[in-house]
Amino acid sequence: MSPVTAPSSPAEGAALPPAGLYVHLPFCVARCPYCDFTVYAGTFARGPKARTERLYEAVNRELELRADALDERFGRRPPLRSLYFGGGTPSLVSAEWFERLMTTVRRRFGLEPGAEVTLEANPGSDERGDLSSFAAAGVNRVSFGAQSLTAAELRRLGRRHSPADVAAAVAEARAAGVASINVDLLYDLPEQTVTGWEDTLRAALALRPDHLSLYALTLDDPDAEGLTGEAGDHLPTTPGVRRWREAARLGQDDDRAADQYRLATELLAADGWRGYEISNWAQPGHESRHNLTYWERRPYEAVGPGAHAFDGRIRRWNAADLARYIDALLPVEGRAALPPGGSEAISVATAAAERAILALRLDRGVGAVWAAESAASEAFIWARQAGLVEDFDLEGEARVRLTLRGRLLSNELFQRLL
Ligand code: SF4
């Protein structure tokens, strides 16, 4: 079919200054076998050989260089709406280093009043860091990588924390005055039952978080997908990890995953949650502003190994390799340079398809007029007949959104939009 045109797009084709900033801090105490993020664990993260100080210094330098480049392109820029420290386990950073990075961000990028500042944290007592210091430095949202609240499932995933750690971490964040708390959970775990998933969900609800992210476990092979080369944004997979994933895949089940998603949708709706995105639920006013920047296809800047940025026209990424990242930014001699990586210009047709797909991930969906009159209309006629989309009214505007069945089978519609 012919490419779609954008549903509505003030920024299509135009490069704009970032609305958000992502800072990737890649250290973890141990690497989980299912994890595809850019992570450096073990002796990289702790002990005499740790690379943490050098990396934080390099990230601080990259913040300066990226800000210089933005100043040159855009002159005066609006302050950031959101700042997100992801990883890895960013909560491993010392309070001193975190304060230094915040100071650089404030000085070079600016934060608008009430800007959302998120820190990802692991729940373990030796991983969640000093939440009071983080809050004092400006963190107002903490995202805990809980993944499960069942001890046996956590062990099977290779996680270091217990369900009790999750409860203690949430309580500690509340006591520190963190305004918004997210809990990340995974379903479609190997051998996980629907009942086991329900237990995890109910235990998470009992902690009264403000936001829940529920993702199906995906076990990809970044080597096979060509993501691990010189400029690749992924690290190579070890043979042991590949074996773990092959065995774990045997314990996954698409039908069971669909039942688990359906259960979550019903349970959370009954408890007053809004599923504002396919995989994300929030209490009123606690939608993730930073993630909405991605889903609304607004521009964002990014620093750190493996981090991705987007300026409205071009998607760019830093290579995942830690040594090359540090060497570029902290050279023994000569001037600091931006780290190696890659970039990709997004065509108008791809941009429009991306915008439509991202909009459909949200419960606001797309405008009904656009769905009916653009080149995507055939796909929407098909999706309506298949029960994947429905019409609804949003403050007087006719719109189209995914049904529950559409959320479960969204890829079938998304592929037709590409
Ligand atoms: S703790 Fe999180 S970021 Fe670190 S290896 Fe495990 S899943 Fe990946």
Question: CB of 289 closer than 6 A to ligand 1?
Answer: no
Reported residue count of the chain is 418
Does some domain include residue 97?
Answer: yes
How far is residue 26's CA from residue 62's CA, in Å, rounded to a whole number? Answer: 15
Q: Where in the sequence is the domain holding 213, given as residue range(s)? A: 20-217+252-295
Does some domain include residue 182?
Answer: yes
* Structure-block tokens of residue 391: 């019409």
* Structure-block tokens of residue 15: 């490069």
Residue to probe by mutation, ligand 1, list 34, 37, 143, 144, most atoms within 8 Å of CB: 37
Task: Please tell me whether residues 71 and 195 are part of one structural domain.
Answer: yes
Question: CB of 88 closer than 6 A to ligand 1?
Answer: yes
Q: What is the pLDDT of residue 238?
A: 86
Q: What is the pLDDT of residue 112?
A: 98
Instruction: Please calculate the CA angle 359-86-360 and round it to the nearest 5 degrees.
Output: 10
Task: Please tell me whether residues 285 and 327 are part of one structural domain.
Answer: no
**Residues forming beta bridges with residue 402, ordered by sequence position:** 389
Task: Please tell me whether residues 198 and 316 are part of one structural domain.
Answer: no
**Strands 80-87 and 20-25: what pairing?**
parallel
Question: CB of 29 closer than 6 A to ligand 1?
Answer: no
What total of structural domains would you count in the chain? 2
Residue to probe by mutation, ligand 1, list 46, 85, 89, most atoms within 8 Å of CB: 89
Task: Please tell me whether residues 204 and 176 are part of one structural domain.
Answer: yes
Task: Please tell me whether residues 369 and 404 are part of one structural domain.
Answer: yes
CA of 335 to the centre of ligand 1 (A): 33
Model pTM score: 0.94
Q: Return the ligand 1 atom nearest residue 158 CA.
A: 6
Give the residue, by CA position, lying nearest to ligand 1 atom 8: 35
Task: Please tell me whether residues 198 and 333 are part of one structural domain.
Answer: no
Question: Distance between terminal CA atoms of the chain?
Answer: 9
Q: What is the pLDDT of residue 6?
A: 44
Question: CB of 180 closer than 6 A to ligand 1?
Answer: no
CATH number of 384's domain = 1.10.10
Task: Please tell me whether residues 272 and 355 are part of one structural domain.
Answer: no
Does some domain include residue 338?
Answer: yes
CATH number of 162's domain = 3.20.20.70
CA of 305 to the centre of ligand 1 (A): 15
Q: 45, 38 in Cβ contact below 8 A?
A: no
Q: What is the pLDDT of residue 5?
A: 43
Does some domain include residue 109?
Answer: yes
* Structure-block tokens of residue 131: 């939440």
Determine phi and psi for 59, rounding to 5 degrees.
-65, -40
Q: 22, 392 in Cβ contact below 8 A?
A: no
SS3 content of the chain, % helix, strand, coil (to 5): 40, 20, 40
Of 232, 263, 295, which closes a domain?
295
Q: 333, 343 in Cβ contact below 8 A?
A: no
Give the residue, by CA position, lying nearest to ligand 1 atom 6: 32
Low-confidence stretches of the chain (pLDDT < 50) are 1-11
Determine phi and psi for 183, rounding to 5 degrees.
-125, 125
Does some domain include residue 247?
Answer: no
Q: What is the pLDDT of residue 48?
A: 92
Question: CB of 28 closer than 6 A to ligand 1?
Answer: yes
CA of 99 to the centre of ligand 1 (A): 23
Q: Return the ligand 1 atom nearest residue 30 CA.
A: 5
Of 261, 295, 329, which closes a domain?
295
Identify the helix (H) or strand (E) that includes residue 116. Answer: strand 111-121
**Residues forming beta bridges with residue 141, ordered by sequence position:** 118, 180
Q: Return the ligand 1 atom nearest residue 122 CA.
A: 1
Does some domain include residue 6?
Answer: no
Of 229, 261, 295, which closes a domain?
295
Task: Please tell me whether residues 290 and 315 are part of one structural domain.
Answer: no
* Structure-block tokens of residue 297: 């296809």
Question: CB of 145 closer than 6 A to ligand 1?
Answer: yes
Task: Please tell me whether residues 286 and 360 are part of one structural domain.
Answer: no
CA of 16 to the centre of ligand 1 (A): 32
Q: What is the pLDDT of residue 8?
A: 46
Task: Please tell me whether residues 212 and 355 are part of one structural domain.
Answer: no
- Signed CA dihedral, 295, 284, 171, 140: sign only: positive
**Residues forming beta bridges with residue 265, ordered by sequence position:** none
